[in-house]
Structure 1
Amino acid sequence: MVFYFKARPDVGDYTIFIGLDKHENEELIKYGFPQDVWFHVDKMSSAHVYVRLQIGQTYEDISEGLLEDCVQLVKANSIQGNKMNNIDVVYTPWFNLKKAPTMDVGQVGFHNSKMVRTVRVENRLNEVVNRLNKTKVERKPDLKAERETVDASERAEKKARLKEKKKREEMERLDREKQSELKSYKGLMVSAKMTSNKQVASTTKSLQELEEDFM
Structure 2
Amino acid sequence: MIELHDLALDAPDGRLLVQGLDLALPRGGNLLLTGPSGAGKSRLLKVIAGIERPARGTVLVGGHPVWPGDGVLALAGKVRLGFAFASGGLLSNLTLRENLALPLRFQGTPAAEARQRTEAALERLDLLAVAELRPHAVSASARRHGNLARVLAMEPDLILLDDPMEGLDAADRAIALELLQTWTADHACTLVIAAEEPHAFTHLEVARLQLSPVPMESP
TM value normalised by structure 1: 0.24
Higher relative contact order, chain-length normalized (CA < 8 Å, sep 6+): 2
- State which structure, 1 or 2, has the greater radius of gyration over its C-alpha atoms: 1
More helix by share: 1
More strand by share: 2
